[in-house]
Structure 1
Amino acid sequence: MPMAGRFCVRERFRRTALIKYYLKTIEIAMQAKQIHSFEFLPSVNEMLDKIEGGNIKTTIRAEIIRRELERLRRQITTGGIPLTSRSEAVKRVKANVQAQIRVLLETPLQRVVNATGVVLHTGLGRAPLGEHALQYLQNIACGYVNLEIDLERGRRGERLDLVNDYLTLLSGAQQSAVVNNNAAAVLLMLNSVANRREVIVSRGELIEIGGSFRLPDVMKKSGAKMVEIGTTNRTHLADYENAITSRTAAILLAHTSNYRIQGFTTKPAESDIIELAHHHNLPVLLDLGSGALINMESLGLPHETVVADAVARGFDLVSFSGDKLLGGVQAGIVVGKREYVNKLRKNPLMRVVRCDKLILSMLAFILSRYMVESGPPDIQTYRFLTRSRESLRKMANTVLTGLDDVAKRFFRVEILDSVAEAGSGSLPTETIPSVVLRIQCDKISEVKLAALFRQQDPPVVGYIRAGQFFLDLKAVADKELPFIVNALNRVAEAVASKRGK
Structure 2
Amino acid sequence: MERAARAHAERLTGPRVRTVLNASGVILHTGLGRARLALSVAKALAGAAEGHLALEVDLTTGSRGDRQEVMREMISKVVGGESSFVVNNCAAAVYCALSALGSGKEVLLSRGEMVEIGGSFRMPEVIEASGCRLVEVGCTNKTRLADYERAMNPETAVIVRCHRSNFKMTGFVESPSSQELAELARSRGIVFLEDVGSGCLVDTSQFGAPKWYRVQDALAAGAHIVTFSGDKLLGGPQAGLLVGDGTLIDRIARHPSARASRVDKLTVVALSETLRLYWTGRSLELPTLAYLARSLETVRGYAERIASAAGVETAIEEGITEIGGGCGEGEGVATVRVGLASRDPIALAKSLRQGEPSILTRIERDRVWIDPRTLEPEEVEAVVGVLKSKEEWE
TM range (shorter): over 0.9
Query: Partner letter of residue 438 of structure 1?
Result: G
Q: How does 1:180-195 map to 2 (within 5 A)?
A: 180-195=88-103
Taking a change above 3 Å as real, the CA distance of residues 104 and 351 of structure 1, as seen in their structure-2 partners, is: farther
For 1:125, the equivalent position in structure 2 comes to 33
**Which structure is higher in strand share?**
2
Matched, 1:455 2:354: yes
The one-letter code sitting in structure 1 at the alignment partner of 2:327 is S
> 1: CA distance between counterparts of 2:287 and 2:241?
20
Judge conservation of contact 2:110–2:137 (CA < 8 Å) in 1.
yes
1:153 match: secondary structure? coil
Please tell me whether the aligned partners of residues 25 and 321 of structure 2 are also in contact (alpha carbons under 8 angstroms). Answer: yes
Q: Which runs of 5+ in 2 are unaligned?
A: none
Aligned alpha-carbon RMSD (Å): 1.8
Q: Greater Rg, structure 1 or structure 2? A: 1
Q: Does the 8 Å contact 2:112/2:141 carry over to 1?
A: yes
Structure in which a larger fraction of residues adopt helix: 1
Letter in 1 for 2:89: N
Counterpart selection for 1:167 from 50, 75, 88: 75
The answer to whether 1:354 aligns with 2:354 is no
Q: Partner residue of 2:200?
A: 292
CA 1:246/1:128 → structure 2, altered by over 3 Å: closer, same or farther? same
1:377 corresponds, among 261, 268, 284, to: 284
**2:372–2:380 CA contact under 8 A, matched in 1:** no
Give the SS at the match of 1:377.
Answer: helix
What amino acid maps onto 2:354 in structure 1? Answer: Q
Answer yes or no: is 1:494 the counterpart of 2:392.
yes
Shift of 1:251: 0.4
Residue 46 of structure 1 corresponds to which residue in structure 2? none
Mapping of residues 290-439 of structure 1, within 5 Å? 290-373=198-281, 376-401=283-308, 403=309, 407-408=310-311, 411-439=312-340
Give the TM-score taking structure 1 as reference length.
0.75
What do the CA deviations read for 1:169-208 (whole angstroms, capped 9, x no partner)? 2222011000110011111111010001100010000001
Q: Mean Cα displacement is larger for which, 135-144 or 471-480?
A: 135-144
Given that 2:209 and 2:332 are in contact with CA atoms closer than 8 Å, whether structure 1 keeps it comes out as no
Q: With a CA cutoff of 8 Å and minimum separation of 6, indicate the structure with the bigger relative contact order.
A: 2
Q: Measure how far apart 1:377 and its partner are.
A: 3.3
Q: Take 1:259 and 1:212, find their aligned partners in 2: how far apart are those partners?
A: 15
Query: Does structure 2 conserve the Cα–Cα contact (< 8 Å) formed by 1:329 and 1:363?
Result: yes
TM-score, reference length from structure 2: 0.95
Q: Which amino acid aligns with 2:369?
A: F
Counterpart residue type for residue 299 of structure 2: L
| CA distance in structure 2 between the partners assigned to 1:348 and 1:430 by the alignment | 38
Q: Are the counterparts in 2 of residues 187 and 219 from structure 1 also a CA contact under 8 Å? A: yes
Counterpart AA for 1:181? N
Q: Percent identity?
A: 36
Q: Is 1:249 equivalent to 2:157 in the alignment?
A: yes
In structure 2, what is the equivalent of residue 271 of structure 1?
A: 179
**Shift of residue 314, structure 1, vs aligned partner:** 0.8
- Structure 1 residue runs of 5 or longer lacking an equivalent are 1-94
The CA distance in 2 between the partners of 1:439 and 1:333, in whole Å, is 41
Q: Which runs of 4+ in 1 moved over 6 A?
A: none
Mapped to 1, the partners of 2:318 and 2:11 lie a distance apart of 37
